[in-house]
Amino acid sequence: MDVGDSRTPIKPVRLDPDLYELRLQVLKRKLRFYHGEPLNHRTVLVKLHKHIKRTMHDGNATRKLSREDQDEQILFAISCYRIR
């Protein structure tokens, strides 16, 4: 389910749909914020991780490297959430 709008989309993380990714762009930088919503506390958001996405458009990564880096960042957020 996509519950964001066109400027601040919030989407389930494809590697773990219990986590959500907030996507923002500031100038040319793509910012990613990950949070979880514990089942036993439905009104609580748990901030897990944030990072600046490396992309081929800012010259910091190829598409493949960007995807691999993004997956690594997501896996870190998942590991933070799963130990709670």
| pLDDT at res. 1 | 39
- Give the CA distances from residue 77 to residues 53, 58, 70, 81, in Å, rounded to whole numbers and listed in that order: 14, 24, 11, 6
Give dist(CA 28, CA 8) in Å, integer. Answer: 15
* pLDDT at 7 exceeding the cut of 80: no
Tell whether 4 is covered by a domain: no
Domain limits at 66? 10-82
Per-residue pLDDT at 33 exceeds 90: yes
pTM flag (> 0.85):
no
DSSP code of residue 67: H
How many domains are contained in the chain?
A: 1
Within-domain flag for 14: yes
pLDDT digits (tens, 9 = 90+) for 37-76: 887 887 888 889 999 888 877 776 788 888 888 899 999 9
